[in-house]
Structure formats: structure tokens, C-alpha cells
Structure 1
């Protein structure tokens, strides 16, 4: 879940970077238009560039806001999820406690395999499994 959110944040950051680069390009066109005696852009194109620049600014600010929001959600998820803790209903040192410990350390093993690991010799266990 957290990996998906981090991937989404990365994707949104790439998009916002692209829109920021587009804004910079539009800004350089506007600077060329206003600083020189030559007309690089017609008045219609000038208005379009300004309108597109404003749209890109709004989009990039929205995307950056989304990235920050998702980043905060990721941090909250990371800090609120509890790690898997070991619990046993048996007293420490008992056979049940040892079996529960083996099952906790090897989550893919069946309960029977954990019992065999505890009670069989190493050769018998290797032979059986």
C-alpha cells in the first residue's frame, strides 16, 4: 500500500516537473517578446501563451499539493501501522510457547512442522521435510 502511494507521489512529481519546465519555456518566450524590438509572437499568440502559463501554474501547484497530501498520508500510515508482535497463550519455557515462537519465526510452516522441528532430531526433521 505504501509502495503504491510512493509510486503515485513520484509520478505526480514527474508531471509537476514537466509542467514547471513548460512554464519556464513559456516564460522565456514572454521575455523574448517583451525585451526585444522584434515581434516573436503575435498578440493572439501572446494571450494564448499567458493563458497557458497560468493554466500550467495552477496545474503544477495542484499536483505539488497532491504530492504533499499523499506524502503526509504515507507517513501517517507508516507510523500508525503496528509491527507484527509475538503473542503466545502459553507460559514462557513451555512446549507450546516454544512451538509458537517457531511458528512466529517461520510463518510459512504448519503447526505440525513446528512441532516436528521441536521434538524430532535434526536428521529426522531433514528426512521428513
Structure 2
């Protein structure tokens, strides 16, 4: 009799454990779609954030390239202006040099003419 009671108790316990396991399994099955949806939403958010991050990175990169190009343009403009300034200074120096040479040549010529005239005058 004790064996029968023990067997019934054991059977009841096994049945309850099986029922609990079944309930847990049903609960987990119900929970799994929710977890799957949460995971999917998180994944979508992650993909969207990655895409957004890529877009921001590309914008930053484009801005950086534009700024570098702008800086290069400003540098080239400055160099061109500097080159023009140097060219003008060289040209002015060249003009001054030509003017001085002409002046020296004319002075020499004038002196030569004056000396010739003076020599002629003295000879007369």
C-alpha cells in the first residue's frame, strides 16, 4: 500500500513536473516571438544608426575635403598674389636698373660731348 501511495505521489510529482515544463515551454514560446521582435527592432535601430553614422561620417569627410580644397585654393591664391608681388618687384627693379643704365649712359655721353666741345673750344 505504501508502495502504491508512493507510486501515485511519484506519478503526481512527475505529472506536475511535466505540466510545469509544458507551461514553461508554452511561456517561452510566447516569449520568444517578443524577444525575436525586440532583437529585430534593435537590429533595425543598429542598422539605421550605422547608416546615419556613415552619412555623418561622409558629410564630415566631404566637409573636410571641401575645407582642404578651400585651404589649398586660398594658399594658391596667396602664392599667386605673392608671385605677382615678386614679379612686380622684379619688374620695378628691372625698370629701375634700365633707367639707371640709360641715365649713366646718357651722363657718359653728355660728359663725352661736353669734353669734346670743351676740347674743340680750347683748341680754337
Q: TM-score range by the shorter chain?
A: 0.3 to 0.5
Instruction: Flag the structure with higher helix content.
Output: 2
TM-score (norm 2): 0.36
Higher relative CO (Cα under 8 Å, sequence separation at least 6) belongs to 1
TM-score, with structure 1 as normaliser: 0.35
